[in-house]
Structures are given as structure tokens and as C-alpha cells.
A and B are shown apart, each in its own frame.
Chain A
Amino acid sequence: MTNAELFTLTYGALVTQLCKDYENDEEVNKQLDKMGYNIGVRLIEDFLARSSVGRCQDFRETADVIAKVAFKMYLGITPSVTNWSPAGDEFSLILESNPLVDFVELPDNHSSLVYSNLLCGVLRGALEMVQMAVEVKFSQDTLRGDNVTEIRMKFIKRMEENLPAGDE
């Protein structure tokens, strides 16, 4: 019995609960993103305290830190960073395996559910706390039949330093 499953099972129980509470997958996806955001704005402090990573110079460095330090620390996996846009403002994280989806199968009536959408919110919230506005979404998902899981991240703009955003 490993502790890895506590998180995975709890996450599964959460998604199950949300599917009961909300009428459609889009609403569940939104709620997962919101909750992820709330986690992200707090998680960043934990990350900065434990990783001794300094300020990133550019988006490429940010991508490397996310993949090699953050994902490793919190989920025990190291996604690869690929598919950079020519402008250098967009990239993909390719996850060979996704700990959130161990033993998970999507039932037929949830074809629009982005099961791991919490991760998008976490990344968005965490980066907002270091003054980066980003868009994050899943472009491939093994739960939906794709070979890999791919998270696409796009840099929108640098934010002014101001009071932390409230919970969504």
C-alpha cells in the first residue's frame, strides 16, 4: 500500500462527486480548473520553499522547471517539453504516464470530461503568483484514447505585481 494512491483515489472521489453535482462535463471541467487554480496559488509557495529554484529568465526556463522540478516533486514524473511555437510562447508537456488516471476508465456518457483538468488550474494559478498569465489545456488525453497525454501551455503576458488574487 503506497501513499501515491491516496491522492489518486481522493482525486477520483472528487471527480465522481463533481459529476453528481453538475449536470454536464463542461461544468465539471470548469470546476476542476477553478479548484486547481485555488491549489496552484498556494502550492507555488510550497514549491519555491522546497525547490530553491530562482527566478526564471524566460519562458523556456519556466518550461524546464515545470517539467523537471515541479512535476517530479509533486507527481513523481518528468514530462518532456516539446512542440515549441516559433515565437517561443507556446509549448507542450508530454506525459507518458499520468498518476491521476491510474485505474480510471471514463464511462461512455462523459466524452467531454477532461478528467485531469485540475492540473491546468494548478499550473495557471501557480504561474499567476509569479506574474505570468498563461493558458493551459489538455490537447491529448490517454483517457480519451490518445497515445499520450499532452498539456499545451501558452504564455499570454507578464502581470503587474499586485495583491494576490482571491479564490475563484
Chain B
Amino acid sequence: MADEALFQFLHNEVIQYIYKSSEHGEMENGRCITKLENMGFRVGQGLIERFTKDTARFKDELDVMKFICKDFWTCVFKKQIDNLRTNHQGIYVLQDNKFRLLTQLSAGKQYLEHAPKVRKHNGGKLTCQALFIPGQLSPHEWFSLPLSLQYLAFTCGLVRGGLSNLGVKSIVTAEVSVMPACKFQVMIQKM
């Protein structure tokens, strides 16, 4: 059973690798985030694949989201989602007040050497709605992203991948307001 710290170290190093590769011009147009998100997607699929052999089928979409918020989040991040909101029309907002992959970032300075200038939108809230639409982030925009959002790309993919294997197609974005709290927005796509 691999220790949680090992995953965090690996996750950090993966981000650094993707970031460094982009500096050498090997990537264009925000494919860094797409790469990270796609990796997370495959991992999310893999995690759910092994689990749902035992679980009874979920009765509806909300049930699936609750599973993500409780069982899935606990397994991966050792705690549940703190708050789930929905408009009952296919949009869910998952709030984690102390997101484990950000707590290390707040505390440790070592990865902040590369931190680009923070860019604020929406009256002081750090958001990036275009995060996961492939090709829509220019290299300049990627480098303007706060490191915290780069850190969330993998997890967005993780959620999207998990949902995918539960039969739910989605787009997942993330928003950081005050570290280490963050929100994941899930938009269900009708198949």
C-alpha cells in the first residue's frame, strides 16, 4: 500500500516535468494542462474500474455525485468534500476547504520559485473558466496561471475520469479562492 506522501511527491514531480517540457517549446496552446488533465482522467478511470465491481448501481446522477464527494474523495484525499451544491440542472459545485494537494503548496516554498505572476479575474477571485477547453490557453496564459491552478488540472481529470467510468460524461473545472480551499465545478454533458 503506497504512502500518501509518495503520491504527493510524484504528483508534484509530474507537474514540474510537464512545465519544464513546455519551456522547451515542445507544447503549444495550453496543452500542458490538457496533458495533466488527460493523465488524471486515465487514473480516475482506473480507480473507479477496480471499485465498482462491488457497488450496486447508483439510482441517479445525484447519487453518483454523492459517491464522488464521499467515497471517492475519501479514498483519494482522505477526507470528504465539505460542501456539495447543485442547480439540479446538471451543474454541481464541490467545495473542499482544505484540499490536500494545495495544503502542501501553501506551506512549502520550494515549488514557488517558478510561480508566475498571479492573474485575477472576477473581482479578486482566481478563476480560469477556459482551463480545460483544449487549445484555448496560449503559452502566455499558461505561464500566467498561478501554480495552484496548475496543481488542480490532474485532479479535474481524476474526477472527469471517475465519472466517465460511472457512465457520466462531464466537463470539470476548478477554482481557487483562498488557499487551500478550492471548488470543482462539474458540468454534466448529455450523451
Write the residues of chain A forming the contact surface with B, with a CB cutoff of 8 angstroms: 1-14, 16-17, 21, 31, 35, 38-39, 42-43, 46, 73-76, 99, 118, 167
Contacts and interface: CB of A to CB of B under 8 A. Distances in A.
Contacts of B47: 1, 5-6, 9
Given A17-B35, A21-B21, A35-B17, A6 B5 contact: no
Contacts of B50: 1, 5
B10 A5 contact: no
Contact of A3 (B2, B14, B26, B48): B2
Contact of B3 (A12, A42, A74): A74
A65 B11 CA distance: 25
A4, A13, A16, A76 — which one has the most chain B CB atoms within 10 A of its CB?
A13
11 contacts: A1-B50, A3-B2, A3-B76, A6-B47, A7-B2, A9-B42, A10-B7, A13-B43, A17-B39, A38-B16, A76-B2
Interface core residue of A2, A10, A11, A13 (most chain B CB under 10 Å): A10
Interface residues of B, number: 31
Nearest to B46: A9
A43 B9 contact: yes
Contacts of B11: 10
B39 A14 contact: yes
A41 B13 CA distance: 12
